[in-house]
Chains A and B, each alone.
Chain A
């Protein structure tokens, strides 16, 4: 049997995948034509292209996948003609292929309204990676942006514009509200005010009549007589099914587009099927990926002699728009005549929830969630499966207030055939069975059921189901480290301390099983370092360190290392600066100032590290621990010794703090800063602990974070003298080191802490746990035990022997290391 697929989008790809899975015994020849230059990619997450995802990241499967599965893939080659009598198709490049069955998965194109001037430069649609590339390239020229269309894609496009730096962006919607197909007036009004607070201007009831400009767009005119100046426009006013091929070969199409299909997705020619956004079933186009996948499933089943019909599809959706949850399910708009409404609105927090329940109060018919869609999956399942509602259905959106908590019982009340993952059609039973068969992590469940691999929205439910199923089997589910240790980090920390264990192997033998792994080894090494502060390269512990700790340097692209000497408080003498320059010159190292007021030297061969450090240590430097989950820098502003505004000597205090906690190992890296006045030039409020001078002393802030999820530090205590401030930092750091989960920065640690900053204040300031004295003593012993790791290596020839690339050619460097030149320095050669 020979099957030709026209169109290589998400649904076309999914059809191939499903057909292969079902046809293992049958011989099927599969040919795919795609119009775009690359194979099918994830169009649902297209906007992530602007957030840094590459075309490759978005790809559903590489070209290899097609080759390996024997699929003939023609890219950049759209089919131009279907000859139904001879059962052949002919492509743009002139390739003719015969077929037994033809699958049209041609998808849709952006609908562009016929506004005069729409052809001008600077007007784009939002559909393919190429469209996004053009938008990205044009954006730097634009200052004022606009989007026509206030639906899902339009708002995504508006977010993309803001991300591209066009802060003055209008959204123009013809209807009276945003997302008219998903949410009601009240929900839309709330969404509108949230979007406006992000800087977007929203114009509803607005019809564009003309686009003006010489060559490129410069102005838009509206039917109500108003206008706006604009230099870039993205049109996202809906989709238009691609039905031209079908129409030209005489297949029936709908008056407003779409290829007419029956419940088997057959067109008016029984040998031709249409699936996805080009298919018109009972007068409806299904513009979401999940129904498209379901259509692919129906056709693949049919062609493999199975029985399955398409009977319409639930159009419930949940999405995150510019950080705002928006969801609708069931029948969101059902009127008060046919249902009772329960509405909750909190304009303060920006939350709107509406559920529609049947007049007898027994069934959930649909609803809308804006601002907080946490209950979406539960509500959707309750609605789809017609689960009898509890006596107080408002609990569904408000949570149980007082009394027994409903908790996760919700997941369990679902029937076995409830669709948990709609993208991949995975039922509750499929997931529970997988867990019973041994898939006891979310990743394993994803791999064997595919649940959660589409939009990912059901992953929290999958996790709940996993936990419940395992508990139902009598399994105790805990947040354990890995397969080798049945403990949390905190438990293992205490066990290691009580039993005075000093090496990784001792900890594994006493409290673990198996032979360890890349998760528990660095974790235990960090606990050992936090507890005893012994040299991490001590025999037996060296190979349990993460690669950076093992070589006391940062592994960089190409396999060379970078070196960061400690420069406490960012203060350095001219002589020391000269030494760094000379060392960098001698070993040809790339130099760069870091964000923490230090100097990073890149491109050192592993075998050169001890010699480089010998020079640095002789000049009075010590390790900066940039390679470790440890205290990094204490940044400072210049303070009262020079600054005319400075209240205290922030540099001296920063140096004192940095020298106190240098080398302190923790669950994650720790950064700090000291500012000499409230102008905050050292940015102390973005650090794990930050200190700001006041008239009367120091204010101490904790648990701030730069990085990928920035968070401001919170004020822990005010107007402290220098000694008390250090005492509080001792307590704070020991509490963190003892109780944080692995690789959690202090911000994450605090976010998970019950009681939050108030609880933390109570522990640190009021000593509510009665641990303060012990913690201060433990910290003092760590401080007293500090030794520079690199000094120990430089003074010990045995340690130095470990720094070489070849064990049997110690003098030789790795010949595969390659550098390129850039701005008069070297850089690592790009990897593939």
Chain B
């Protein structure tokens, strides 16, 4: 039997609600997703909002930037950094963030969850 993956693009917020080069936290059911508007690169990213280091809901309040060409976010608590593309920790820890695809249609932001 073929099982189809259940994919949902859910509407998060208006694109203009997310500050330039910054993040916001999006509620999806019981989940918290950090959404980033990387204006400088013309890119959008989404990751889990919880920093795996001390289990704090804070990634959306972190500063974003780049290391080489890799876009990253720094947790405001202890400045652990994570790739926004892959979610892997760029400051040497083994844990990582879950990432989500993002799309913009008619000024609205959608995040893909499954």
Q: B-contacting residues of A (Cβ < 8 Å)? A: 447, 483-484, 505, 508, 514-518, 520-522, 539-540, 542-544, 546-548, 550-551, 555, 558-559, 802, 805-809, 812, 814-817, 831-832
Contacts and interface: CB of A to CB of B under 8 A. Distances in A.
B12 A807 contact: yes
A514 B41 CA distance: 9
Contact of B40 (A483, A515, A547, A548): A515
Interface of B: 12-13, 17-27, 30, 32, 35, 38, 40-41, 50, 54-58, 61-68, 71-72, 74, 76-77, 79, 81, 92
Main secondary structure of the interface of A (DSSP, over half): loop
A215 B67 CA distance: 63
A542 B19 contact: yes
A517 B55 contact: no
A57 to B, nearest CB: 14
Contacts, number: 105
B66 A516 contact: yes
B59 to A, nearest CB: 11
B65 A517 contact: yes
Given A516-B65, A802-B19, 19 more contacts: A483-B67, A484-B65, A505-B40, A515-B66, A516-B21, A516-B40, A517-B66, A518-B62, A518-B81, A521-B63, A539-B20, A542-B19, A543-B64, A559-B58, A806-B27, A808-B12, A808-B13, A814-B32, A816-B57
B74 A518 contact: yes
Closest 3 CB pairs of A and B: A543-B22, A547-B76, A517-B65
Given A517-B74, A559-B57, A808-B13, A544 B19 contact: no
Contacts of A484: 65-66
Nearest to A517: B65
B55 A831 contact: yes
A520 B66 CA distance: 11
A546 B25 CA distance: 17
Given A807-B26, A808-B26, A559 B66 contact: no
Contact of B25 (A542, A807, A832): A807
B26 A832 contact: no
7 contacts: A515-B38, A515-B41, A539-B20, A542-B22, A543-B21, A546-B76, A807-B25
Contacts of A517: 63, 65-67, 72, 74
Nearest to A801: B17
Contacts of B62: 518, 547
Nearest to B22: A543
A345 B72 CA distance: 54
Contacts of B38: 515
Contacts of A546: 63, 76
A807 B18 contact: yes
A518 B63 contact: yes
B65 to A, nearest CB: 3
Which of A484, A516, A807 is packed against the most chain B CB atoms within 10 Å? A807
A69 B57 CA distance: 31
Contact of B63 (A539, A543, A808): A543
A543 B63 CA distance: 7
Contacts of A515: 38, 40-41, 64-66, 71
Nearest to B14: A807
Contacts of A514: 65-66, 68
Contact of A521 (B32, B65, B92): B65
A46 B40 CA distance: 48
Contacts of B54: 831-832
Contacts of A808: 12-13, 26-27
A515 B58 CA distance: 21
B74 A555 contact: no
A446 to B, nearest CB: 10
A517 B66 CA distance: 6
Contacts of A544: 21, 63
A331 to B, nearest CB: 41
A518 B30 CA distance: 29
B20 A543 contact: yes
A186 to B, nearest CB: 46
Nearest to B38: A515
A611 B81 CA distance: 32
Nearest to A513: B66
A309 B11 CA distance: 66
B10 to A, nearest CB: 10
B25 A805 contact: yes
A832 B18 CA distance: 31
A805 B64 CA distance: 18
Nearest to A543: B22
B83 to A, nearest CB: 13
B24 A807 contact: yes
A533 B79 CA distance: 26
Contacts of B40: 505, 508, 515-516
A540 B39 CA distance: 10
A507 to B, nearest CB: 13
Contacts of A547: 58, 61-63, 76
A752 B42 CA distance: 42
B12 A555 contact: no
A832 B54 CA distance: 6
Nearest to A447: B92
A825 B32 CA distance: 29
Contacts of A551: 61
B44 to A, nearest CB: 13
B13 A807 contact: yes
B79 A807 contact: no
Contacts of B30: 815
B17 A807 contact: yes
B99 to A, nearest CB: 18
Nearest to B74: A518
Contact of A543 (B19, B50, B57): B19
Contacts of B26: 806-808
Contact of B56 (A539, A815, A831): A831
Contacts of B65: 484, 514-518, 520-521
B61 A550 contact: yes
A807 B35 contact: yes
B7 to A, nearest CB: 20
A414 to B, nearest CB: 30
B51 to A, nearest CB: 10
A548 B18 CA distance: 19
A228 to B, nearest CB: 47
